[in-house]
Amino acid sequence: MDAALAARNRQTLAKLLVVTGLMLGFAFAMVPLYRQICDALGISQTRVVGATNTQVDTSRTVTVELLASSSGLPWQFEALDREVKLHPGQVVTVRYRVRNTLGRPVVAHAAMNTAPARAVRYIEKQACFCFTNQVLAAGEERVMPVVFLVSPTAPRDIDTISLSYTFFELPQGAAS
């Protein structure tokens, strides 16, 4: 093979390698390109912005009064938000504060009840300290959230609900 031909072959090789490199780049360019096209066409499924809750019943307002107590435990336990006004279906977050005043760790569990009692089935909790046992070291203080909504199916005559939590101490050695 003469030198001129070998040089021509190398030239072709170089050109084809450039094509190969460009196509490899194209594979990765498809990532932003895909995003752009999906956004432009409004068919993005993974990056939903400004989602709205269509289940909120804005035609009425329910007042939820928050109460806290502990049974046989000298704990300081109080609701930081005493009262919230909300529309059924609207997700709200309220906070409770608890402090273990004893000189020893305590395992306790909170129980919920409502007034009127029939409202209990319309309180839908998404996060609550009452789902698990709470372990507090001596003197420890903690702020705990409750995320809940009042179901839009709640009867219209329920316009005020008292939501009350009571802490009970669990025997030593109870699972935390």
Partner 1 sequence: MSAAAPAHDHGHGHHDDHAHAHPTGLKRWLFTTNHKDIGTLYLWFSLAMFFMGGTMALLIRAELFKPGLQFLNPEFFNSLTTVHGLVMVFGAIMPAWVGFANWLIPMQIGAADMAFPRMNNWSFYLVVPAAILLVASFFVPGGAAASGWTLYPPLIIQQGIAVDMTILAVHILGASSIMGSINIITTILNLRAPGMTLMKMPLFVWTWLITAYLLIAVMPVLAGAVTMLLTDRHFGTSFFNAAGGGDPTMFMHIFWFFGHPEVYIMILPAFGVVSAIIPAFARKPLFGYASMVYATASIAILSFIVWGHHMFTVGMPAAGNLFFMYATMLIAVPTGVKIFNWIATMWKGSMTFETPMLFSIGFLCLFTIGGFSGLVLAITPVDITLHNTYYVVAHFHYVLVSGALFSIFAGVYFWLPKWTGNMYNEKLGKLHFWLSVIGFNLAFFPQHFLGLAGMPRRIPDYALQFAEWNMWSSIGAFIFGFSQLLFLYNVIECIRSNRKSEQMPWEGADSLEWTHLPTPAPYHTFETAPVIK
Nearest CB to partner 1, comparing residues 27 and 51: 27
Residues binding partner 1: number (CB under 8 A): 24
Do 62 and 88 touch, CB atoms closer than 8 A? Answer: yes
Token representation of residue 106: 């305590």
Amino acid at 45: Q
Q: Single out the segment in contact with partner 1 by CB under 8 A; choices: 22-30, 52-60, 87-95, 155-163.
A: 22-30
Q: Interaction with partner 1 in 25-54: which residues (CB under 8 A)?
A: 26-28, 30-31, 34, 38, 41, 43, 45-47
Counting contacts by CB under 8 A, is residue 19 touching partner 1? yes
Q: How many CB atoms sit inside 10 A of residue 7's CB?
A: 10
Characterize 50-74 residue by residue with b for buried, 16 or more Cβ atoms within 10 angstroms of its Cβ, and e for exposed: eeeeeeebeeeebebbbebebeebe
Residues that bind partner 1 (CB under 8 A): 5, 8-9, 12-13, 16-17, 19-21, 23-24, 26-28, 30-31, 34, 38, 41, 43, 45-47
